[in-house]
Amino acid sequence: MGSLMLLDSASMYFRAFYGVKETMTAPDGTPVNAVRGFMDMIARLVRARRPERLVACLDNSWRPAFRVAAIPSYKAHRANPDGSEQVPDDLNVQIPVILAVLAAAGIQTAGADGYEADDIIGTLAAGSSQPVEVVTGDRDLFQVVDDARQVRVAYIGRGVANLEIFDEAAVTAKYDIPGKSYADFAALRGDPSDGLPGVPGVGEKTAAAVIRVFGSVEGILAALDAGHGGFPPGSRAKLAAARAYLDVCMPVVNVATDAPVHPEGGTLPFVPPEPGRIADLDQRYDLGSSLGRMLSALAADPA
């Protein structure tokens, strides 16, 4: 059975923006470095991994209300006064172009109001009847790894050329935790880039040690309530002091698996459904060889 590849689109186009020369511009001066870099990533991934289906997942709501209600600091440092995400102007103008190229090339996109791309990925992965590869540079999505359901993460934190495939054993090897316990581990450790405070005084090693003993935040709370021992030295008091955070953190950290998206579709287009639109976009933005490489990769037989 062929695989379903789910793209964490924002993670990819941010990396493309910062990784490709800013001197790439359209004839009218519009920057296209992120557009071209994103297409090159897709071409390389499709060539290397040969998925049967491909869906680009989107942040319709980059800072969902349900997460902010639970932890107000969630991504607060990355928000503009109007609540929108802080995005460099030269990248912001390219996002509509990326979406237009995906549509014209026949690459399915998926998003839902009130949810992040991570939630779309979690929902589509949970509903898939075929193996899934999640392409991301965000460690948060290690939580979707599931050997039983054949869900893996193709991690591009060091670039697409240095792709790392994470299954449960790889998560265990990297963090010394059970392979399906990443979300609970991340909740304890925290993530300053997302405004997720974590438990004060509990770093990565202690978080891993606690998770190895109790398995989950739920297990930690049960042990605290029952007065159980077994906590790594010095950790019990820190965890008890962070009880208010531990009570609310998991709905924020866990990706949703019930976002209102449909898991059907995404079959790779052997012929772009809008060749005229593709030609117009190419002429307007000078997408050149990057567009050609992506279309050629999409047209290749996945078998």
| Burial zone of 167 (CB within 10 Å; 0-12 exposed, 13-18 middle, 19+ buried) | middle
pLDDT band at 40 (very low <50, low <70, confident <90, very high): very high
Give pLDDT, residue 269: 84
pLDDT tens-digit series, residues 190-224: 999 999 999 999 999 999 999 999 999 999 999 99
Q: What is the DSSP string of 103-165?
A: HHHT-EEE--TT--HHHHHHHHHHH-SS-EEEEES-GGGGGG-BTTTTEEEEE-TT-GGG-EE
Domains and CATH numbers, the chain: 4-175+255-299 (3.40.50.1010), 182-253 (1.10.150.20)
- Answer yes or no: is pLDDT of 185 > 70: yes
Give the whole-angstrom CA distance, residue 194 versus residue 178: 23
Give pLDDT, residue 283: 96
pLDDT tens-digit series, residues 219-244: 999 999 998 888 999 999 999 999 99
pLDDT tens-digit series, residues 91-113: 999 999 999 999 999 999 999 99
Long-range contacts of 235-240 (CB under 8 A, 24+ apart): 235/202, 235/206, 235/209, 235/210, 238/199, 238/200, 238/201, 238/202, 239/199, 239/202, 239/210
pLDDT above 90: percentage of residues in the chain: 90
The pTM (predicted TM-score) of the whole model is: 0.95
What does DSSP say about strands 132-136 and 4-8: parallel, antiparallel, or unpaired? parallel
Give pLDDT, residue 175: 97
